Amino acid sequence: MSETLSQKQRRFAKLVPRLIDKAHELGFEVTLGDAYRDPRVHGAMGVKLGYGRANSCHKARLAIDLNLWKFGEYIETTEAHEPLGLWWESQGGSWGGRFSDGNHYSFEHEGTR
C-alpha cells in the first residue's frame, strides 16, 4: 500500500529538523527559505503564478529551501550543498542539486521533486 500525501507530509516534517541538525554538524549555519507555497499566491498544482514551478513539492508541503551560511557569508553554490544533499538522499529525500536548485530539499510526490 502506498503512502498517502498526509502520511508523506508528516514524515517529511519529522525529517526536516534532522536535515537542519545535519547542516549544523557539517559546519553550516542555516536560515529558512520557502517551505509551503500557498495556492492563493502561487496557483494550484499545475498552475504557475509568480515565481517557482507550476508543479512544485512546495505546494504539496513536501519541500523546503535551506540557505546555508559559513563564517557569516551566504553560500550560493549548489556544490556547497552537496554533502547535505547526499545525506538527504540517503534518508529517502530528493535534493535539488540534481536539477540546478541546490538549496531545495524535498520528498518526491507523483513524479514531482
Neighbour-count burial of 32, counting CB atoms closer than 10 A to its CB (0-12 exposed, 13-18 middle, 19+ buried):
exposed
CA distance 95 to 85: 5
Model confidence at 54: pLDDT above 70 = no
Check residue 38 and give its pLDDT: 82
Please give the mean pLDDT across all residues of the chain: 92
Average pLDDT (43-53) is 73
Instruction: Specify the pTM.
Output: 0.91
Average pLDDT (87-109) is 96
Check residue 49 and give its pLDDT: 74
Model confidence at 50: pLDDT above 80 = no
CA distance 105 to 87: 11
